[in-house]
Structure 1
Amino acid sequence: MKVGKTLIYLFLGILFGIVLSKSEAISWFRIQEMFRFESFHMYGLIGSAVATGAILVQVIKRFNIKDISGQPIVIPDKQKGIWRYLLGGTFFGMGWVLVGGCTAPIFILIGYGQYSMAIVLFFALLGTFIYGKYKQHLPH
């Protein structure tokens, strides 16, 4: 990978971390408020991210946008079936509420000096590894 691309990725990652920090998306208290239905803050944040993502996916599909290496971006259609999404969403949500953060904030919180999140990172990577190893054995 070229140094220029690495710097672009590094800059975008830092920018993403700043946005998540300033929007309080990494706050355990904000996440608990969301799961207790006490505040709209996180729902508004997540809703705006979903809307932005949906718009950008349509732009990528309609205008044949290319990635940073010049290859066309291919976004496959979503697979049919609801159970896989319900099960995956349930596990993700349970982990989110127990830990107080999803994947991106893990790195940000470690950067803020909350080193106990390294345990969460380890198990997130372990879970991803196990899923990748046994994915083909799961029902489609």
Structure 2
Amino acid sequence: MPLVTALIAGLVFGLGLLISGMANPAKVLGFLDLAGAWDPSLAFVMGGAIAVGLPAFTLAARRRNALLTGEPMHLPTATRIDWRLMGGSLLFGIGWGLAGFCPGPAIVALGMGLDQALVFVLAMLGGMVVFEILERRA
């Protein structure tokens, strides 16, 4: 059951990215171009995600087990803002601004056959490998 639930959630997420146009890096870069032809549609997508996610996470925080699967809830517990969080956020933002992709839309765009998505996903995987190597050394 958890695999079916994850599959359905992933399909809904991917479909939402396609319908909203967020799998198109030009749309995202248009949002980030404040001095040019600014496209505010990403702000509406983010607002919609917050409107759906906030009540869902509030409800989830009160539960011990997941509603559909009965599995134990594993919600984040970290609340500290440190240099690792700030550095990771900075790297994420730089990558997002340069490529117009973040991980979810990049996977969707990869499935659409976009060449730049392949480059982004390979770079993302490379970054994950470098992170793991550095973490094991630390």
TM-score > 0.5 by shorter chain: yes
The count of aligned residue pairs is: 135
Note closer, same or farther for the CA distance 1:80–1:8 as it changes in structure 2 (3 Å cut): closer
In structure 2, distance between residues paired with 1:124 and 1:42: 22
Aligned position for 2:12: 15
Aligned-residue identity in percent: 21
RMSD: 2.5
1:26: how far off? 1.3
In structure 2, distance between residues paired with 1:68 and 1:129: 33
* Structure 1 portions without partners, runs of 5+: none
In structure 1, distance between residues paired with 2:85 and 2:118: 27
In structure 2, distance between residues paired with 1:8 and 1:63: 18
TM-score (norm. length: structure 1): 0.78
Note closer, same or farther for the CA distance 1:5–1:113 as it changes in structure 2 (3 Å cut): same
Aligned position for 2:21: 24
Deviations 1:25-76 (A, max 9, x none): 1122221121113132112212332343333222111132327653320324
**Higher relative contact order (CA closer than 8 Å, sequence separation 6+):** 2
1:5: how far off? 4.5
Aligned position for 2:96: 96
Letter in 2 for 1:54: L
Note closer, same or farther for the CA distance 1:62–1:9 as it changes in structure 2 (3 Å cut): closer
Letter in 1 for 2:78: K
Note closer, same or farther for the CA distance 1:129–1:28 as it changes in structure 2 (3 Å cut): same
Counterpart contact for 2:101–2:120, Cα < 8 Å: no
Note closer, same or farther for the CA distance 1:136–1:67 as it changes in structure 2 (3 Å cut): farther
